[in-house]
Chain A
Amino acid sequence: MPDLTPLWLTLRIASCATLLAFAFAVGFAWLTARFTFWGRDFLDAILTLPLVMPPTVLGYYLIVVWGRNGWLGGWLHAHLGLSLMFTWQGAVLAATVVSFPLLFKSARAAFEGVSTEYEQAARILGDNELRVFFRITLPLAARGLLAGTMLAFARAMGDFGATLMVAGNIEGKTQTAAMAVFDAVAAGDYTLANTLVAIMSVVCVTILVMTNKLASRGRAGR
């Protein structure tokens, strides 16, 4: 039985990253979908950037910001003695950034698909803004949010470049499945490579099939 530690680590990192990305993406998506403000298109572009940039470039940016001498990382190191570099938390950071745009884009489309008339009706029926969000907007956008979350999870699981730059490739510590496959092939260990590749493929195909099902049922329901 090949060593499956990288797989568990990948699941842990991808889960944390998806949760983080979800919180930020829902917030920003709601903001950009429901309000018109100066610089909205620019904000949208910045938030979507990780989708099109090479992962290594993203990783480099993350080092600049979060590294020991970085803007935020320097503060963290000086005041709390913490560093995200070469830790699994750093890998979470990288995976969050690369998966964020997928969730953000889906969430924004989902929120924009919710007619504001339902929200107005809820207001007239006595709801404040918080209740409108949790009783109307969120449930009506749920399918799109879930589909985006699954895509983001798949993307977070598969990240290679950004994670490598930030967290390195330390066996048992930051070595995710994607990196383990790389190492296994380089070392000629095809049993391990085949096992990891097979598992990753099954998980990703399952996620995509479920996402498509959600999307098509969403269309039929409206």
Chain B
Amino acid sequence: MRLEVDIRKTLQSGDRRFELEAVFSSQDDLTVIFGASGSGKSLTIQAIAGLVTPEQGRITVGGETLFDGSQGLNLPARKRGVGYLFQDYALFPHLTVRDNIGYPLKKSWPFHLLPDDRREVAEIMASFEITHLAESYPVELSGGQKQRVALARALITKPSILLLDEPFSALDSMLRHRMRMELLEIRQRFAVPLVVITHDPADVEVFADTLVIFANGRVKEVSGRKNLATPDEDDGWRAKVCWRAQWKKERLAAA
């Protein structure tokens, strides 16, 4: 998966002014955008998802151009085929877990699920081990359960890329570690490239094959692991995690 971002956006609120100039690309299936809050990383993935329109530039995901200011091309969010995990999950409070997950499948009124879609929802619920929650409402779920439901809802549309906005910040630290491992495992199972934005170095250790560091609305550094010796693929992801941990520590220390 190749992700290319080259965008500019200015936000003006009163006499406060924020200029975003995000230029980076990633070849890897695991990309971390790291930076302090207010560094422009959220704005960047919102632009990739189509929630924010840059003033100029270009966004390409896997060879498909989603935005090109010079050609006046700006695909609406609903046509980008991008998955997005909101920081606090944005599960629809008036719908059950089943209806939340089935939401993108039912396209026309009266929004009933067809048998095929019902089966698809049941399968993905089983694979996330949330079948027993099918009739629950989001308000009844724990943090970890909410995240699983949100992931299932985002992945059921088979997005070309999954964008995650501070995915673990709403969880306590015990759960955080478990959900990181789960997410890695899900990435492999669904074969979907991830872009994680975070200000937590622990996420960098686990998820960054390509690490993009943001500061003050600009990309300060992009580093990939392609030019480094990589562990054997058969080592599995646990070995990778350990290997990454060491490499990331060096990178962060250098940054």
Chain B residues with CB below 8 A from A139, complex form: 94
State the CA gap A115–B89 with chains docked (Å).
12
Judging by beta carbons under 8 Å apart, are A125 and B93 in contact?
Answer: no
Please tell me which one of the listed residues B82, B107, B109 contacts residue A124 in the complex, with CB atoms under 8 A apart.
B82
Shortest distance between the CB of A112 and any CB in chain B (Å): 16
Q: Who on chain B is nearest to A117 by CB?
A: B90
State the CA gap A221–B90 with chains docked (Å).
16
State the CA gap A140–B92 with chains docked (Å).
9
Shortest distance between the CB of B2 and any CB in chain A (Å): 21
Number of A residues whose C-beta is below 8 Å from B?
19
Shortest distance between the CB of B59 and any CB in chain A (Å): 15
Main secondary structure of the interface of B (DSSP, over half): loop
Q: Kindly supply a per-residue 1/0 record for chain A positions 194-222, scoring 1 wherever the CB is within 8 Å of any chain B CB and 0 otherwise.
A: 00000000000000000000000000011
Does chain A have a CB within 8 A of B78?
yes
The A/B interface has a contact count, at CB < 8 Å, of 54
Please tell me which one of the listed residues A121, A134, A140 contacts residue B86 in the complex, with CB atoms under 8 A apart.
A121
Q: Who on chain A is nearest to B84 by CB?
A: A124
Does chain B have a CB within 8 A of A12?
no
Does chain B have a CB within 8 A of A135?
yes
Q: Kindly supply a per-residue 1/0 record for chain A positions 110-154, scoring 1 wherever the CB is within 8 Å of any chain B CB and 0 otherwise.
A: 000001011011111111100000111001100000000000000
Does chain A have a CB within 8 A of B157?
yes
Q: Kindly supply a per-residue 1/0 record for chain B positions 93-112, scoring 1 wherever the CB is within 8 Å of any chain A CB and 0 otherwise.
A: 11000000001100101010
State the CA gap A127–B157 with chains docked (Å).
12
A window 84-129: CB within 8 A of B:
115, 117-118, 120-128
Chain B residues with CB below 8 A from A124, complex form: 49-51, 77-78, 80, 82-84
Chain A residues with CB below 8 A from B139, complex form: 221
Shortest distance between the CB of A159 and any CB in chain B (Å): 34
Judging by beta carbons under 8 Å apart, are A126 and B104 in contact?
Answer: yes
Judging by beta carbons under 8 Å apart, are B111 and A135 in contact?
Answer: yes
Q: Who on chain B is nearest to A125 by CB?
A: B104
Chain A residues with CB below 8 A from B94, complex form: 139-140
State the CA gap A134–B94 with chains docked (Å).
13
State the CA gap A134–B84 with chains docked (Å).
22
Given contacts A120-B77, A124-B77, 8 further A-B contacts (CB under 8 A): A115-B90, A120-B51, A121-B90, A123-B76, A123-B77, A124-B82, A127-B78, A134-B109
Which A positions have Cβ atoms within 8 angstroms of B? 115, 117-118, 120-128, 134-136, 139-140, 221-222
Which B positions have Cβ atoms within 8 angstroms of A? 49-51, 76-78, 80, 82-84, 86, 88, 90, 92-94, 103-104, 107, 109, 111, 139, 153, 157
